[in-house]
Amino acid sequence: MQEGTLLQPDVSTEDIHRAKDRLRVRKARASKNPLSRLWLLFLLIGPGILVMLGENDGPSMLSYSATGATYGIGFFVPFIVLTFAMAFVVQELTVRLAAVTHRGHAELIFDRFGPFWGWFSMIDLAIGNFLTLVVEFIAIQSGLGYFGVPTPIAVGAGLLLSVGVMLSRRYWTWERIALLLSAFNCLFIPVAVLVHPDWGQVGHALITWGPLPGGVNQNLLLFIMSDIGATVTPWMLFFQQSALKDKGLTPKDIPQARIDTALGAFLAAAFGVAAVVATSVLFANHVDTSNFSSGAFAAAQFAQALEPYAGHVGATLFALAILEAGLLATITISSSSAYAFGEVTGAAHSLNRPLKEARSFYAVMIAGAAVAAAIVIIPNAPLTLIVLVVNVIATLAMPPALIFLILLVNDRKVMGDYVNGRFANILAVGVTVFLILAGLTWGIVTILTGLGILPNS
């Protein structure tokens, strides 16, 4: 370096984009305009809504639909509300982790517990995410299948749209497109209205919590496990923490991030309940849905079954809502895998970086979606088995992920003054124990059913 010259800092595209976003946040926070608080909230919301509505994905909404058609609303409407309350408890921990550490979830596990557990968590996440991505493309195929779109075209179109959003080259742009897409999850509400349910019965169920329909058996527990896995899953931890890091969240932003997460949980619970209410009309009218495929054409079959009660408009909205669920989840789940890969390997991992600066990040994101889409197109692929297994696997995989999370938020070296308090620990441990007991109950009932001691249904 020549005398008199200054050493220039290494400023990346990622740094520039994030600095611009943070400048807008700073100006909104400093403004004395009465509307500045709303503008500040608008700037900071995103990851919380996306993680919750992203979890209202294809298999989740099909699980809720099958639940309503099989058991009605008595027990499962309040149960879904409970599971999203648990989701908020868990995701609030990731909000504080991201704000205080400015690091992703996989990166923190790697740093605090060593390379073995870092790679273990990433590989475990990658496997679960890949299976889920297959199901998301099944949902895309199924939603467009209602309109007669052939499988290769439906899957190919879904992949192209997802990849287009992934390559938006700017976190802010990616987030806003995803938020716009997530708004279509609300289509389950007009479907529920169009079937003309007994809203008094829905309110009664929320207040009194109906009994277990048909008693405890393997079939009921399958639905319970599937509906838990439709709400609380490992990818959510990795996605929201990494997205908040990419967004540049700071401790000052925690209140707005909590509102973002709570709003996402409320909306996701409302739309999940709407799916149950919409298909409960099939239960009330004794429509047999047991022969519906849980794989490639489930959404189309549910839409067709709803047509006599919700009309062609209602059936169309249902199919479009399933399509949206698959598309949004493909975008968010793919990004969670790519974030985790970059955090563990040390490669560039940000949606604020262009393709040339983060090739491996975008390669992981796109390749996972592309291979999952290819599997859906393969003739005679075991799609039904994959759909049945995905949500149950997510439920069983969640307790180990939660243990890492609880250890991290209780580590004062990591969290400083934002370490977990007693009440937060009670809630977090309570959710973990609940999930462990659900898994143990599932295992015991499965064994007893296999021995002929308990009935299957």
Rounded distance, CA 126 to CA 348, Å?
A: 18
How far apart are the C-alpha atoms of 272 and 280, rounded to whole Å? 12
Q: For 265-317, write each residue's pLDDT tens digit.
A: 999 999 999 999 999 999 988 887 776 655 556 778 888 999 999 999 999 99
Q: Note the pLDDT of residue 280.
A: 92
Q: CA 312, CA 236: separation in Å to the nearest integer?
A: 35
Report the C-alpha gap between 402 and 418 in whole angstroms: 18
pLDDT, residue 308, reads 94
Rounded CA gap, 43 and 281, in Å?
Answer: 40
Residue 139 has a pLDDT of: 87
Task: Give pTM, 2 decimals.
Answer: 0.89
Residue 31 identity (one-letter amino acid): S
Categorize the per-residue pLDDT at 145 as very low, low, confident or very high, splitting at 50, 70 and 90. confident
Helices 298-345 and 105-113 sit at what angle, rounded to 10 degrees?
A: 50
What per-residue confidence (pLDDT) applies to 59? 81
Which pLDDT band holds residue 399 (cuts at 50, 70, 90)? confident
∠ Cα 153 155 156 (to 5°): 60
Eight-state DSSP code of residue 185: G
Q: CA-CA distance, 280 to 226, in Å (whole number)? A: 17
What residue spans define the domains of the chain? 45-394
Give the model's confidence band at 9: pLDDT under 50 very low, under 70 low, under 90 confident, else very high.
low
Least confident of 11-20, 29-38, 130-139: 11-20
Under 8 Å between Cβ of 351 and 168: yes
Q: What is the pLDDT of residue 356?
A: 87
- Separation between Cα atoms, residue 87 and residue 454, nearest integer Å: 31
* 43 pLDDT above the threshold of 80: yes
pLDDT digits (tens, 9 = 90+) for 192-222: 999 999 898 899 888 888 777 777 777 788 8
Q: Show Cβ contacts of residue 207 under 8 Å, excluding neighbours closer than 6 positions.
A: none
Helix (H, G, I), strand (E, B) or coil at 289: coil
Q: How far is CA 402 from the centre of its chain?
A: 16
On whether the CB atoms of residues 341 and 349 are closer than 8 A, the answer is: yes
Residue 3 has a pLDDT of 46
- Report the pLDDT value the prediction gives residue 2, as an integer from 0 to 100: 46
CATH fold of 45-394 reads Hydantoin permease (1.10.4160)
Instruction: Answer whether 454's CB lies under 8 Å from 218's CB.
Output: yes
Q: How many other C-beta atoms are found inside a 10 Å radius of the C-beta of residue 97?
A: 26
Half-sphere exposure of 165 (CA within 13 A, CB side): 24
Class of residue 395 by CB neighbours under 10 A (exposed 0-12, middle 13-18, buried 19+): buried
High-pLDDT (> 90) share of the chain, %: 48
pLDDT tens for residues 367-392? 999 999 998 888 766 555 566 567 67
Distances (CA, A) of 420 to 101, 409, 412: 14, 6, 9
Q: Is 139 left (phi over 0), alpha (psi -120 to 50) or beta?
A: alpha
Q: Please give the DSSP secondary-structure letter assigned to residue 253.
A: G
Phi, psi angles (nearest 5°) of residue 4: 95, -10
Structure tokens at 54: 């992203």
Q: Where is pLDDT greater, at 49 or 455?
A: 49
Q: CB of 406 within 8 A of CB of 420?
A: yes
Q: What is the mean pLDDT of residues 316-335?
A: 93
Q: What percent of the chain has pLDDT over 70?
A: 91
Could you count the other beta carbons within 10 Å of the beta carbon of residue 426? Answer: 12
pLDDT average, residue stretch 40-52: 93
Assign 292 to helix, strand or coil.
Answer: coil
Query: For residue 119, which of 110, 128, 129 has the smallest C-alpha distance?
Result: 110
